[in-house]
Every structure is written in C-alpha cells, then in structure tokens.
Structure 1
Amino acid sequence: MNKRLLYVSCCIIACITILSQCINKAEKNEAAFRGPQYAGAAACAGCHKNIFDTYMGTAHYHTSMPANTSTVKGSFAAPDHTFTYDSATKVVMEARDSGLFQAAYNNDVPQESHRFDIVVGSGRKAQTYLYWQAGKYFQLPLSYFVPAHSWANSPGFPADHPKFDRMIPSTCFGCHSSMVAKSTDMQGVHIVESFEKNQVVYGIDCERCHGPAAEHVQFQSSHPQEKKAMYMTRIAELKNQQKLDMCALCHSGLGTPQKSMFDFKPGDALSGYFFPEFTAPKRTAQMDVHGTQYQLFTASKCFMKSNDMNCSSCHNPHNSESNNMELFSQRCMHCHNTASHNFCKLAELPANILAKNCIDCHMPALPSANITLLTNGKQSPTPDSIRTHLITIYKEETKKVLARLKQAS
C-alpha cells in the first residue's frame, strides 16, 4: 500500500514538473521574440482589472486574432459560402476537420486552397484573412464586408480571378498586432523577411501603447503600498505632440519606415520612425478618409485653435464607444456650448435635439477611394464608409441629418 502511494506521489510530482517546464518554455518562447522586458497584457489585469476588461471589447484589442469558427465572420454554408468570379471560376469557404479554408475551383475542379490562419480587422466594418506558407504570410483572396453581410473580393485584388500570392510584410503587422516573430535575410540588395507560423501577439495590447511593463509589474507587485506608477511612462505627463504621435503611428497612413514600428515607445517622436513623405497630398481635399485621421484632424479648426486637443480629447481608448454619437457630442459640448456663445447656430430643431448628434454633421462617414470591396454578384465595388476626422461644415450631409432628426422627432 505504501509502495503504491509512493508510486502515485512520484507520478504527480513528475506531471507537475513537466507542466511547469511547458509553461516556462511557452513564456521563454514569447520572450524570445518580444523581449524579456515585456510582461504580457494578462499581467496588467491584476491591478487594472476594470480597464483591462473594458479594453477587451475594443476594436484595437480585436484588430487581429487567430482564425477559427468563433472569430471568422461570414457563412460557410451554401449558398452564401461561394464567391463567383465567372461561370467557371469560384472560391468556396469550406469548414474542414483541419480548419477553415478558401478553396478555388474551375469548372468544379479544385485548383488551390489555403487555410484561414489569421483574422485581420475587428469585424466592425470588415475582416480580411492571412495564411502562412513556407515562412511567409499571404492574404486570402476574399474578405468579409460587414455592411453587405457578404464575402467580397479583397481590396486591390483582381476582379476576374482569385489571387493567393499577395505577400504580407511585417509593416502590416505593425498596426494590426503587438508583435510578430520574424527573421530577415539579405538576398542581393533586398531584405527578405521570414515568419514563424502563428508566432504573433494578437491585437493592440496594453504594452503596445504604454510600453514594456515587466519592471513595472515586478516593482508594484513587491511594493503594493506604492501608489505612484513606477518604471512606466505616464501618458498624462507627455507633451501634446507626443500624445498625438502615439496614435499617428498607425493613423497617419503607411509611410516608408526607418525602423520597426514595434520599437515605438510612448514619448517617442513619429519622425524617428518614418522618412518624410514628399509626395503626400498637401490639401485635405486630396486625402482619403482611410488612414489619414491624423492629417485630417490636425487640419481642423478645432485642433488649430486649441492648445491641448488630441485624440484622447474625444476617444477613450480603453472603452468601446463606436457609433455612440450622443457620447461623442457631449465631448464637443466641452468647448461648444451656450455659455461660450459658440453652440450650434442651426435653428431648424431645438438645441436639446441638436446636442445629441454633432458628429454626423461635422464628421460624416464618407466613402473611401482606397478601400473598396466587390461583393458577390456585383459589377462594381462598394467603397467602405469611414468617418472623416476633418472637423468642419458639410452642408449636404447636414441636410440629410436634419431631415432624419425631424422625421424622428
């Protein structure tokens, strides 16, 4: 009996030892490509649980995810699972035992198929998808367009045949993840990137905006009585341009990088990460609403007349607030109110109704010329509508909003 008990005890100890080794190995693997100075977002939840929990519902947090049945939007059931290019060519979404696939057929003969590996995009407007092969990531030919509830040709892809060979560089991961494991090699005069499969810190996590936290977590855990945040950059103490640069890293378009975007830390200057764009449009009328939020916002009178206006003046990055027009409008009222004599001057509707939606009049959703999606059965692509960040007067949009508000009232 004692021998049996000893044997069971030895087995339990062995299992615990193996499990701890596996956990340590996983931690070391993550540290290997992100660095030991990072603690991981889960470490933030201990002291900042409420913020952590609400942030998990934001588009930033969900801007990339591993692909599976719970993260991929769109139907895998007939007839909605098929995108037709012509009478002979189609791509079918297939749920197989080994995962989700996009499979191309010509006259019902299989041509090529690849697995959904990574979801890119929160799914609030659209999602696109990547697959991994031989050290490279490629974009799948079909994306999902939420407003149309339909599979759609991926932006910039040919409309007459499925394209599986669009290679995705690390710069795309720079705005849609918190780190990707990669290596580089010189082939002639070109730098060639290679990626480890699914070695990605998905989404924009706490440390992507607040900086590496391992030293902070270690200190605060061992000094719980210390209420001042140590070994972390205090965002509130940054200069206004530094706060703007944090958001502009991903919301000012994709420039020519000088160094990896993953190296950016709060307080860094944006100019240190991208070469100047001498060919970029100088006039706001030439700027597309996609990817130029920083340029449009800083060209607005609201910004130019303020000393300290920045992205966080309107956006709480820790909460999901999209489409809450009344909440955003209340933030407009901090400056635009009757006491300051600069409230909305429209007389068609009562002030209490106008106060519920400044946004659709002064920051309307406008069609993007750069992001268009061809949905199944359509002859021309549909532009994605993106809210402009140029805060100004849009007369035609205002007419639409007034008509809608009058009807609702």
Structure 2
Amino acid sequence: MNKRQLGITAAIIACAFALSRCISKPTPPADPRGEQYAAANTCASCHQSVYDAYTQTAHAHTSALATAGTVKGDFNAPGNVFHFSNGTEVVLEKKGERLVQRTNGQEQPFDIVIGSGRKAQTSLYWQNGQYFQLPISWFVPANSWANSPGFPADHPKFDRVIPSTCFGCHSSMIGIAEVKQENLQLKETFEHNKLLAGIDCQRCHGPAAEHVDYHNQHPQEKTAHAMKHPGKLSRQQQLDMCALCHSGLKPMQRSAFDFKPGDALSEFLMPTAPFPSKQVDVHGNQYQLLTASKCFSGSQQMTCGSCHDPHTSERSNMQVFSQRCMSCHQPDSPQFCKLRSKPSATLQQNCIDCHMPAQPSTAITLLTNGQQSPTADSIRTHMIAVY
C-alpha cells in the first residue's frame, strides 16, 4: 500500500470513528423532564384553540422567569419604596435589564415570579444553588407593594428558603442539581433559572411523547392514543388530581412532579389529622371545603370539573358559574334560592357571592407600607352553604 492509499485509508477510518461518535451520542430529549414528555408547546399543533385559551388561565401563569414583562409592580418613584414599621426602606428598582430589591447594603434580583398576578405576585432570587423568597411582593387589590406572605412587618428578611415542594404546584419542572442529607434535613440545590413555568397540559393529561408520535404517524386517527382524559377517570381520581395542589400545605412523601393522572393522592401526601371544616382556612384548602359542603355530599358525581372548565379563564364570570349551580338548583324548584326579595332572573345572575363568599384567611396577612390591607386576606371559600 503506497503512501497515498495509506492516507486515504486513515482518513476514512477517522471519519468513520467520528461519525460513530455522533451516532452513538444520545439526542437530548425535547422536554427536560425526559423522553416520555413532549415539548410543552407541542399540544398547540393539533389543539390550537384549546391551547390558546389555556394560556390565559391562572394555572398557566403560576410561575415565570422574571423579566420586565412578567414582573408586576411599580418601579417608578415614589411608588417603588416600601416602608417597614421600624423605618427600614426597601427600594424596588430597575438596573438595566435587572429588577432588584435593595435595602441597607443588601441587594437581590428578581429571578422567578410566583403567582398568576390576579391577586398578588411574589418573587424569588437564586443564590449559591438555592432559591429564596424576596421580602416584598406586589398586592394587586391595593395596587401596592406589600410584605411577602408570612414575613415580618417590622423588618425585611431575605433568608426564607423555597423548596421544590413549592415549585411542585407552581411549575411543571424545576432543575434540581442535587439533594443531600444535612443533619436531619434534606438540602436541595437548584440549577439557576432552569424552569418549565406554569402548569402545562402534561401535568393533567400525563406525559405526551407517545401520544404525539402516534398521531404524527396516524394523522387520520381521532381517538386519543396514550393520553389521559381526566373526565374518564373515577370521581376520586379526578378529585385527587386537583387536591394535589388544592388541599393546603401538607407534608409530601413523594414529589408532586411524579404525580400522574389516575394516581392516588394518598401515595403522595403524608397522612395528617383532619380539622373540623369550621377550622379549615380558606387559603389553599379548596378540596377540604368543597367535600365538606352539602352540595358535594348530596351528589354522586360532583367534582371540581362540575364547576370549573380548566381550559378557560372564567374567574370573573359569575353568571357562567351560576348556570352550573342551576344544573341542580333549577328555578322554581324546592332547591332554588329562597331569597324572595329579588326577582328570580336577578338571582340567577350570581349565586356565587352569596353561597361562596370571600372570607378572611389567617394564613396570609399582607401589610402595605406598615398598614394592614382590609382585603388582603379575603379569599373565596369553597364551602358551599347558606351564609
């Protein structure tokens, strides 16, 4: 073999080796949760109208990376200064592309915002692998900054660690770098801003990669393959899906991210002693309050989906909810409203404010510049009753 042939042979071997490395290297998944999942926006290719409507719901906006477009609040003086009762001030300001909270030499950025912003929005910052809650949040009804829920009213603090359990109900995935035991506690470290924001379709319908692959190969098939339809689950399975995040702050024995539609809630939440319904706070305990209602106990089918369309934003449309009440409480029937001081047609416009009124919460108290806001802790109860 001459030198020219030897060189060509060597080049071919080198190319073959390089190509083999490329072929053997695994292709990264379309979704950071793994190969079972489809990219979060994949659903839009076949379900555009439902997808577009869902993007306007509170579930879709339970979290976001902090940008000038996602952070609510006043960053223009004088509205960008919060005053604690001890005289300490926290300044909320823009520094180029960054938004920060600053006080007494302490300055931390807005990294992630939590909450749809309908009533309030709080924010987190990342430092040394952990997320911490910022001391000041935006409170929508007062159009003002307020101390973050559960934070002291007399001084700012920046050391409240936010665990993955919070992200389990406020996001579809958070990048966890490491979990290790320190003394009697688990310490989690997170990858900076690796977040699938909001609650996406696959949190309620299950991993979609197989579903997407099948229907891409069989475009004429209209029966959903490898996809959970929550409405076809049992009543308790449907309730468990919602109760995972709407049954208060309960200790978890498994990550909420592992929950799939059809799973039993009891496999995820640690058992706790039940409280009497009168002692259940209106904040976050929608499941307990609903199941304690006579409407629920008197029905064999009632679930959260009996009143809520999860794909559409309906929060302010009391008439739509009232029409759903009247599927059982029909006008001129013994089950209809007994209030005779108003015409029946008027009563049909809004059952909700009377039978599910906003009630005070002891779980959250917000102060706006040292003064308690009168509506800060009012949340609509899911205990359906005569008040």
TM-score, length of structure 2 as denominator length: 0.90
Is structure 2 residue 237 aligned with structure 1 residue 242? yes
> 1:155 is matched with which residue?
149
CA drift of 1:275 comes to 1.2
CA drift of 1:226 comes to 0.8
CA drift of 1:186 comes to 2.1
Is structure 2 residue 270 aligned with structure 1 residue 275? yes
Change (3 A) 1:184 1:30: farther
Question: Partner amino acid for 2:61?
Answer: H
CA drift of 1:188 comes to 3.5
> 2:214 is matched with which residue?
219
Q: Aligned to 2:59, what secondary structure does the other structure show? A: coil
> 2:91 is matched with which residue?
92
Is structure 2 residue 45 aligned with structure 1 residue 46? yes
> 2:181 is matched with which residue?
186
Cα distance in 2 between the residues matched to 1:51 and 1:229: 15
> 2:335 is matched with which residue?
342
Cα distance in 1 between the residues matched to 2:299 and 2:109: 49
Is structure 2 residue 111 aligned with structure 1 residue 129? no
Aligned length: 363
Structure 1: any 5+ residue segments left out of the alignment?
1-20, 106-110, 395-409
1:272-351 aligned within 5 A: 272-278=267-273, 280-281=274-275, 283-338=276-331, 340-351=333-344
Greater helix share, structure number: 1
Q: Aligned to 1:256, what secondary structure does the other structure show? A: coil
Question: Partner amino acid for 1:297?
Answer: L
Question: Partner amino acid for 1:365?
Answer: A
CA drift of 1:87 comes to 6.6
Is structure 2 residue 114 aligned with structure 1 residue 120? yes
Q: Aligned to 1:159, what secondary structure does the other structure show? A: coil
Cα distance in 1 between the residues matched to 2:53 and 2:373: 39
Cα distance in 1 between the residues matched to 2:147 and 2:50: 37
Cα distance in 1 between the residues matched to 2:131 and 2:59: 21
| 1:372–1:381 contact (8 Å) kept in structure 2 | no
Cα distance in 2 between the residues matched to 1:355 and 1:364: 16
Which of 356, 364, 377 pairs up with 1:371?
364
Change (3 A) 1:334 1:79: same
1:249-268 aligned within 5 A: 249-268=244-263
| 1:374–1:381 contact (8 Å) kept in structure 2 | no
CA drift of 1:28 comes to 2.8
Which of 136, 139, 157 pairs up with 2:133?
139
Change (3 A) 1:384 1:88: closer
Question: Partner amino acid for 1:206?
Answer: C
Cα distance in 1 between the residues matched to 2:296 and 2:85: 49
Q: Aligned to 1:194, what secondary structure does the other structure show? A: strand
Cα distance in 2 between the residues matched to 1:160 and 1:28: 49
Cα distance in 1 between the residues matched to 2:367 and 2:112: 21
Quote the RMSD (CA, aligned, Å). Answer: 1.8
| 1:62–1:204 contact (8 Å) kept in structure 2 | yes
Question: Partner amino acid for 1:306?
Answer: S
Greater Cα shift, 139-148 or 341-350: 341-350
Cα distance in 1 between the residues matched to 2:95 and 2:314: 36
Question: Partner amino acid for 1:284?
Answer: S
Change (3 A) 1:379 1:294: closer
TM-score, length of structure 1 as denominator length: 0.86
CA drift of 1:189 comes to 3.6
Which of 388, 393, 400 pairs up with 2:381?
388
> 1:28 is matched with which residue?
28
CA deviation map 1:143-202 (0-9, x unaligned): 011000000001111111110110000000011001111121122443210100011110
Change (3 A) 1:346 1:194: same
Cα distance in 1 between the residues matched to 2:366 and 2:243: 25
Greater Cα shift, 239-248 or 63-72: 63-72
Q: Aligned to 1:253, what secondary structure does the other structure show? A: coil
Cα distance in 2 between the residues matched to 1:157 and 1:355: 41
Question: Partner amino acid for 2:113?
Answer: V
Change (3 A) 1:210 1:370: same
CA drift of 1:372 comes to 1.1
Is structure 2 residue 200 aligned with structure 1 residue 205? yes
Cα distance in 2 between the residues matched to 1:144 and 1:136: 22
| 2:30–2:38 contact (8 Å) kept in structure 1 | no
Cα distance in 1 between the residues matched to 2:299 and 2:332: 18
Structure 2: any 5+ residue segments left out of the alignment?
1-21
Q: Aligned to 1:186, what secondary structure does the other structure show? A: strand
Question: Partner amino acid for 2:212?
Answer: V
Cα distance in 1 between the residues matched to 2:120 and 2:89: 21
Q: Aligned to 1:371, what secondary structure does the other structure show? A: coil
| 2:59–2:116 contact (8 Å) kept in structure 1 | yes
Cα distance in 1 between the residues matched to 2:98 and 2:29: 24
Cα distance in 2 between the residues matched to 1:351 and 1:36: 55
CA drift of 1:382 comes to 5.7
CA drift of 1:30 comes to 6.6
Cα distance in 2 between the residues matched to 1:240 and 1:87: 52
Percent of aligned pairs sharing the same letter: 59
